[in-house]
């Protein structure tokens, strides 16, 4: 079955850019919706956005001005960049597959989560 694994720095300085990568195993990333979701004690689970088919993206308006998502099909990976981070961006970041089709819309596969702290 599909497996997802996040990777990236666990500590980011304020005002810098948070960068995470999700590697997908046992399945192709082609023609699937790949999402990032974060979880912090203060805001619970928050959907950040998705990337589809290498170029189509949909971001949460609350983060849209700072988010960029992309895919690298040659590596079966997708990535998240969140710019100008503050302490409010401290959270566990999950990558997940958004299953989207007739009769179903939900996150069926998740990574284990990547904790990110924003601090000097």
Partner 1 sequence: DIQMTQSPSSVSASVGDRVTITCRASQDISGWLAWYQQKPGKAPKVLIYATSSLQSGVPSRFSGSGSGTDFTLTISSLQPEDFATYYCQQAQSFPLTFGGGTKVEIK
**Residue 93 or 118: which CB sits closer to partner 1?**
93
**Residue 105 or 117: which CB sits closer to partner 1?**
105
Applying CB under 8 A, among 14, 75, 88, 105 the residue interacting with partner 1 is 105
Query: What character string, x for contact with partner 1 (CB under 8 A) and - otherwise, covers 41-70?
Result: ---xxxx----------x-xxx--------
Q: Quick check: 73 binds partner 1 (CB under 8 A)?
A: no
Q: Quick check: 96 binds partner 1 (CB under 8 A)?
A: yes
Beta pairing, strands 114-118 & 91-101: antiparallel
**Residue 12 or 48: which CB sits closer to partner 1?**
48
Q: Could you give the C-alpha distances from 117 to 20, 30, 69, 81, in angstroms and in order? A: 13, 31, 20, 15
Question: Nearest 10 degrees: CA dihedral of 84, 81, 68, 23?
Answer: -170
């Amino acid at each position: 079955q599909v497996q997802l694994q996040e990777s990236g720095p666990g500590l980011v300085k304020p005002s810098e850019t948070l960068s995470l990568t999700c590697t997908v195993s046992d399945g192709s990333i082609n023609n699937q919706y790949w999402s990032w979701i974060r979880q912090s004690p203060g805001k619970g689970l928050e959907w950040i956005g998705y990337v589809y088919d290498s170029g189509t993206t949909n971001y949460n308006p609350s983060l849209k001005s700072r988010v960029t998502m992309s895919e690298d099909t040659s590596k079966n990976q997708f990535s998240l960049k969140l710019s100008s981070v503050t302490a409010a961006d401290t959270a566990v970041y999950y990558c997940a597959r958004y299953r989207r089709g007739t009769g179903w819309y939900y996150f069926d596969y998740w990574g284990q989560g990547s904790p990110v702290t924003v601090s000097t």
